[in-house]
Amino acid sequence: MRTEVRYYQQPELDKPVMVCGLPGIGSVAWLAVNHLQKELKAELFADVYSPTFSPKVWLSEEGVVKLMKGEFHFWKNNDGGADLLLFTANEQPYSPEGQYELAEVVLDLAQKFGTSRVITMGGMATDRFTEEPKVYGGGTSEDLVKELESFGAVKLAGGAITGTNGLIFGLAKPKKIPAICLLAETPGYLSLDANAAKAALQLSSKMLKMSIDLTALDKQAKENAEAVQKAKDLSRGSFVRESRKGGGGELPYVS
Amino acid sequence: MRTEVRYYQQPELDKPVMVCGLPGIGSVAWLAVNHLQKELKAELFADVYSPTFSPKVWLSEEGVVKLMKGEFHFWKNNDGGADLLLFTANEQPYSPEGQYELAEVVLDLAQKFGTSRVITMGGMATDRFTEEPKVYGGGTSEDLVKELESFGAVKLAGGAITGTNGLIFGLAKPKKIPAICLLAETPGYLSLDANAAKAALQLSSKMLKMSIDLTALDKQAKENAEAVQKAKDLSRGSFVRESRKGGGGELPYVS
Amino acid sequence: MRTEVRYYQQPELDKPVMVCGLPGIGSVAWLAVNHLQKELKAELFADVYSPTFSPKVWLSEEGVVKLMKGEFHFWKNNDGGADLLLFTANEQPYSPEGQYELAEVVLDLAQKFGTSRVITMGGMATDRFTEEPKVYGGGTSEDLVKELESFGAVKLAGGAITGTNGLIFGLAKPKKIPAICLLAETPGYLSLDANAAKAALQLSSKMLKMSIDLTALDKQAKENAEAVQKAKDLSRGSFVRESRKGGGGELPYVS
Amino acid sequence: MRTEVRYYQQPELDKPVMVCGLPGIGSVAWLAVNHLQKELKAELFADVYSPTFSPKVWLSEEGVVKLMKGEFHFWKNNDGGADLLLFTANEQPYSPEGQYELAEVVLDLAQKFGTSRVITMGGMATDRFTEEPKVYGGGTSEDLVKELESFGAVKLAGGAITGTNGLIFGLAKPKKIPAICLLAETPGYLSLDANAAKAALQLSSKMLKMSIDLTALDKQAKENAEAVQKAKDLSRGSFVRESRKGGGGELPYVS
C-alpha cells in the first residue's frame, strides 16, 4: 500500500488556488480550511489514504467506520475570482518520510489541476491570548512576502516551520508553484483556536478578493475568550483543562 | 522481502464471509477465529509472511521451527449458508506501515475470492469482569449497524479502533466490501478471555445463521471466572498473576 | 541502496552445506564461523552491503576503511564430504525489516548454489559458567531434530529465537531448504565465549563427518575459564569487567 | 518521493576532487566546505532533496522559504590543478537507511563526473581545547594513508566513524573511488570550531597543491579561543553557554 489519491470526479478548474490545512498547533489551519469548505459548500472530489497515517479507524455516532485520510474539495468561483482547491486531513503522517510523501502527493495533485498558488496555514505559539492575533507570512519569493505584507501580514523572518504544512509550502518551490504560508498567533494551550483561524482567513480572503462569512467561527472564538477570561479570574491550575473543554476536546473527524 | 501470500490450494468458494481475528486485548478475536477453525475443521489454504512481523521464530515442543505468519483457512458450508474464509496470525505487524500493509494483503485476498462480507473482532476493555459481556458493533454502513443491533449488538458510537483488526475493517470500505467489527467487553487483565470470544461468536453465528458448538471455549471461560473469583476472595495483589496463569500464559502459536 | 550481494567469483559447489554465524549472545555463532573460515582457509567470494546495517565505518590499524558488511566464503571438500558455504557479518541489521531482508538475501544465495542444508548457530544464555556446555538443537523437520539428538544435541523444545540467526533458520523452511539451529549454553556475561563456539562446532563436525582442529579456540576458552575462576575467588563486583577484558573487549572486524 | 538530485547545469570537469562536509561534531566539515565554496566562489550546479531529512523548512530573513537539502558546487581550477566538486547539506538524514541512501546518491554523482578522489572531513572530540589541532587521516588504501601522513596527518588507526561523512568515505571503496577522511581535533563543546576546520583545510590544500585564503575562518577561531579563555578565567558553569554564543548559536543555513 502506498499513499494514493482516489478520485470521485475530475473537476475542470481554472488556475485554482489551493488552500491546505492539516491539524497542528491550535488546529488553526485545520479549522480555517474546514470553515472554507463548509461556508463555500465546496465539493469533495478526491481522498488520499496513506499507510503513514496512524494505524486506526474512527467510528461515527451512527457506528459507521471512517478511515484516517486526507480530503480534496473544490469550489468553482462564479464571481470571476480564482477557483479553489481545499486540502485537509484528520492528522499528519506518523513518520518524517510519510510527511514528505504526503506533501509530494498533494503538490502533484496541485500541478495536475494547474494550481496557480498554494496557501498553507498554521499557528505560531506565543503563550499569550490575544483577541487580535497577528498573522505572519512567508513565501516562495520576496515578491510574495511583500504582497502578504501589503495585506497586513507580518514578515516571517527566520525560524523553521515543521510538519506537513511546512513541507507542502517548501516543496512547492522546486515544483515552481508560487506558495505562501500564513501563521496566526495562538496561545499554545487552546486546542481549537477559532480566533487564529479567523485571522488567517481574513487575510487570505483579502488576498483572494473573496468575501467569506466568518460568523460560524465566532461562536468557537467567543467560547475560547470566555474560557481564558474565566481562567484568569480563577487564576491558575484548572485553566488548561477548562480551555481544552471549551475548545471541544478531541479533534473531530474531517467531514 | 515483501508481505506475501503463499497458496497451498485455490479453494472454490461461493461469496464467502471472511472472519478475521488477530491477537489483541484479551486475545478475543484470536480465540474466536481459532475456535471456529478447529470446530469447523476449516482447511489451511494459504500463509502470509511479512518482514513487518517481529524478527523471531518459534520452536514447537518437537523442536521444529515455526515462522511468524498469518494463516488463511476456508470452510465450505454444505447447509446452504455462506462459505467461510478465516484469517488469523500469531501477532500484529511491528510497525504502523506494516499494519496497513497486512490489512491490504488480507483484503486483496478477500476480493480475489469474491468475499461478500468481512467480520473483524476485538475486545473492548472495561476494567470489570462480567459473565455476560456485551458485544458492540460498527459497520461500513448504517444498514449493517442496524442489522447488528437486530442481533443484539450495542451500536459502537464514536471512538477509535487501533491496530490491524481496525484497519481490515476500515479499508474494506473503499474496496466496497461490506464489513463489520464486533468488540466484546473484556476486563483488561485477562490474557485469554474465552467468555468474550464466546459472546462475539454467538452474535456472529446468529448473523451467519450457523450453529457453532462453543463448549470448547467454556473450559477456558470457567477457568477465568474461577481465577477472578479467587482473586476477589484473596483481594488484592496476587490477582493479575493468578489470572494470567489461569489464562494460559504465553499466547500459543496459531495451529 | 538495497541489500545487495557483490560477487568476486562464482565458485562451483556440489550441494554445499551453509554455516551461518552472526554476532549475538556470547558471539558464539560468529566465533564458530570465523574459526571454520580460518581453519579451513575458506575463500571469500562475495560480500553483502546493506543500508540496514549501522551507519558507520571501521578503520583498521593501518588506517584503512572497512564497511559494515556480511561475507560469504566457500570451501571445497576434497575428502568426499560436503562443500561448505560460510556466512558471517560484523553485526546484525539495525531494524526488524532489515533482519528479514538480510535473511532472505542469504537464503537466495544458498538456493543459487544448491545448498543442501543450512546450519545456524547461537548462544543460549544460562547465567552460569560450565566447561562442558550443552548444545540445543532445532530443525525444519522432526527428522532433523532426531538426527541432531543422535549427535548429542538436546532437543530445543518450545521458546523463541530472535534475530537474523533465527530468521535464516526459519525462512529456510518455506524455501524448502533443510535447516537446523544449534544453540550452545553460554553464561550471559562472556562477550566471546569460545567454549560455547567449540561445543557447537564439535557437534557440527560430527554431523558433517569432518574433522576440524579446534585448538585455536582453546586459548580463548582457557582465558575465559581463568577469568571466571578469578572472579569466583575475588567474588563480586569486578567480575564482569575482568571477564570482558579476558574476552577481548570490542568485537573485532570480520576478516 | 525519493532522494533525488536536481541539476541546474552540467559542468564539464576534469577528474575533479570531491570535498564533502556535512554538519557534525564542531561543524568542522560543514565549516570547511562552506569556506571553500565562498572563498573559491564555487558555482551551485545541483541540489539534493530527500524525505530522509527532517520534515521542516527554514525561512530566510526576507521571509523566503528554504528546504532542507544538500548542495553541489563546482570550481574550475585554472592553475592546472584539480577541479573541485563540493558537497554539503544543512543536516544529516534522519534515519540510518537515509544516511546510506544519501551517501550513495552523492557517490553516484561523483562517479558521473569522473571524480578522482573523495575527501570527507569531520571532528574528533578530545574534550580539550588546542590552538593547534592535530588532523587524523584514514583512507581507502594504505598508500593514501601514507600520503596523508606525508602531509602531516596522524594515522587514524582503529575506531569507527559514524554518520554520513563516514559512509561517503567507506562506500567509495566498493565503487573504486580513492577516498580519504580527515578528522580534526575539536573539543566537544564548540558548536562551530573554525580552528579545526582551518586545520583540515590546511592539510587538504597542501595535498591538493592549492593555496586557499583562510583568514575568514580566523575571526571565528579567535572568538572561540577568547570564549575558552574567558571560561577558564571564570572557571566553571557558564562556560558552555558562552562558548556556544561565541560560536554563533544555531547552525546557519547552507548558502
Q: What is the pLDDT at residue B234?
A: 60
Q: What is the pLDDT of residues C170-193, one digit of tens each?
A: 999 999 999 999 999 998 788 888
Confidence check: pLDDT of D246 > 60: no
If you average pLDDT over residues C223-250, what whole number do you get?
51
* Beta-sheet pairing, A117-125 with A179-186: parallel
Q: What is the pLDDT of residues C26-42, one digit of tens each?
A: 899 999 999 999 999 99
What pLDDT band is residue D254 in, cutting at 50, 70 and 90? very low
Q: What is the pLDDT at residue D130?
A: 80
- DSSP conformation class of C167: H
CA B157 to chain centre: 21
Check: CB of residue A89 under 8 Å from CB of residue A44. no
Alpha helices, DSSP H, located in C78-163: 96-112, 142-150
Q: What is the mean pLDDT of chain B?
A: 87
If you average pLDDT over residues D214-231, what whole number do you get?
79
Q: What is the pLDDT of residues C93-149, one digit of tens each?
A: 989 999 999 999 999 999 999 999 999 999 998 877 787 899 999 999 999 999 999
Cβ of residue C49 closer than 8 Å to a chain D Cβ: yes
Residue B62 to residue C160, Cβ atoms within 8 A:
no
Confidence check: pLDDT of D182 > 80: yes
Q: Cα–Cα distance between A93 and A71 in angstroms, integer?
A: 14
Percent of chain D with pLDDT over 70: 89
Cβ of residue A229 closer than 8 Å to a chain B Cβ: no
Confidence check: pLDDT of B49 > 60: yes
If you average pLDDT over residues B23-46, what whole number do you get?
94
* Beta-sheet pairing, B179-186 with B117-125: parallel
> Of A35, B228, A167, which is closest to residue D56 (Cα–Cα)?
A167
Give the residue from B111, B120, B156 with the most A CB atoms within 10 Å of its CB, the best one to mutate: B156
What pLDDT band is residue B219 in, cutting at 50, 70 and 90? confident
Residue D162 to residue C56, Cβ atoms within 8 A:
yes
If you average pLDDT over residues B50-62, what whole number do you get?
94
Nearest neighbour of D55 by CB, restricted to A163, A173, A181:
A163
Predicted TM-score (pTM) of this structure: 0.84
Q: What is the pLDDT at residue A79?
A: 85
Residue D59 to residue A157, Cβ atoms within 8 A:
yes
B residues 154..193 contacting A (CB < 8 A)? 155-164, 166-167, 169-171, 173-174, 179, 181
Q: What is the pLDDT at residue A241?
A: 35
> Of A68, A17, A67, A6, which is closest to residue A42 (Cα–Cα)?
A17
Q: Cα–Cα distance between A44 and A11 in angstroms, integer?
A: 10
Q: What is the pLDDT of residues B145-173, one digit of tens each?
A: 999 999 999 999 998 999 999 999 999 99
Residue D57 to residue A161, Cβ atoms within 8 A:
yes
Q: What is the pLDDT at residue B247?
A: 33
Confidence check: pLDDT of C244 > 70: no
* Grid coordinates of D253: 543555513
Q: What is the pLDDT of residues D31-77, one digit of tens each?
A: 999 999 999 999 999 999 999 999 999 999 999 999 999 999 999 99
Give every CB contact of residue C167 below 8 A, 6+ residues apart in sequence: B55, B56, B57, C99, C100, C103
The distance in angstroms from the start CA to the end CA of chain B is 24
Q: Do chains D and B touch (3 or more CB pairs under 8 A)?
A: no
If you average pLDDT over residues D174-202, what whole number do you get?
92
Check: CB of residue C49 under 8 Å from CB of residue D174. yes
Q: Cα–Cα distance between B100 and C60 in angstroms, integer?
A: 44
Q: Which CB contacts under 8 angstroms, 24+ apart, belong to D237-245? A: D239/D189, D240/D189, D243/D189, D243/D190, D243/D191, D244/D189, D244/D191
Cβ of residue D63 closer than 8 Å to a chain A Cβ: yes
Model ipTM?
0.86
Check: CB of residue D65 under 8 Å from CB of residue D253. no
Residue D65 to residue A167, Cβ atoms within 8 A:
no
Confidence check: pLDDT of D163 > 80: yes
Q: What is the pLDDT at residue B240?
A: 37
Q: Which helix (H) or strand (E) covers residue A60, if one does?
A: none
Sequential DSSP letters for C186-202? E-TT-SS-HHHHHHHHH
Residues of chain A with pLDDT under 70: 1, 231-255
- DSSP conformation class of C11: -
Confidence check: pLDDT of B17 > 90: yes
Length of chain A: 255
Neighbours of chain A (3+ CB pairs under 8 A): B, D
Cβ of residue C5 closer than 8 Å to a chain D Cβ: no
If you average pLDDT over residues B237-252, what whole number do you get?
35
Question: A200 vs chain D: nearest CA distance in angstroms?
Answer: 17
Question: Measured between beta carbons, which residues in chain B are less than 8 angstroms from residue C142?
Answer: 62-64
What pLDDT band is residue D244 in, cutting at 50, 70 and 90? very low
Question: B166 vs chain C: nearest CA distance in angstroms?
Answer: 23
* Grid coordinates of A183: 501563521
If you average pLDDT over residues D181-191, what whole number do you get?
89
Question: Measured between beta carbons, which residues in chain C are less than 8 angstroms from residue D182?
Answer: none
Residue D142 to residue C61, Cβ atoms within 8 A:
no
D183 strand-pairing partners: D122, D136
Q: What is the pLDDT at residue B232?
A: 67
Cβ of residue C99 closer than 8 Å to a chain B Cβ: yes
Q: Cα–Cα distance between C87 and B127 in angstroms, integer?
A: 51
- DSSP conformation class of D240: H
> Of C2, C27, C169, C42, which is closest to residue C90 (Cα–Cα)?
C27
Q: What is the pLDDT at residue D234?
A: 61
* Grid coordinates of B107: 483484503
Half-sphere exposure of C107 (CA within 13 A, CB side): 26
If you average pLDDT over residues B50-58, what whole number do you get?
93
- Dihedral sign, Cα of residue D135, residue D139, residue D143, residue D144: negative
Percent of chain C with pLDDT over 70: 89
Percent of chain B with pLDDT over 90: 71
Q: What is the pLDDT at residue C26?
A: 87
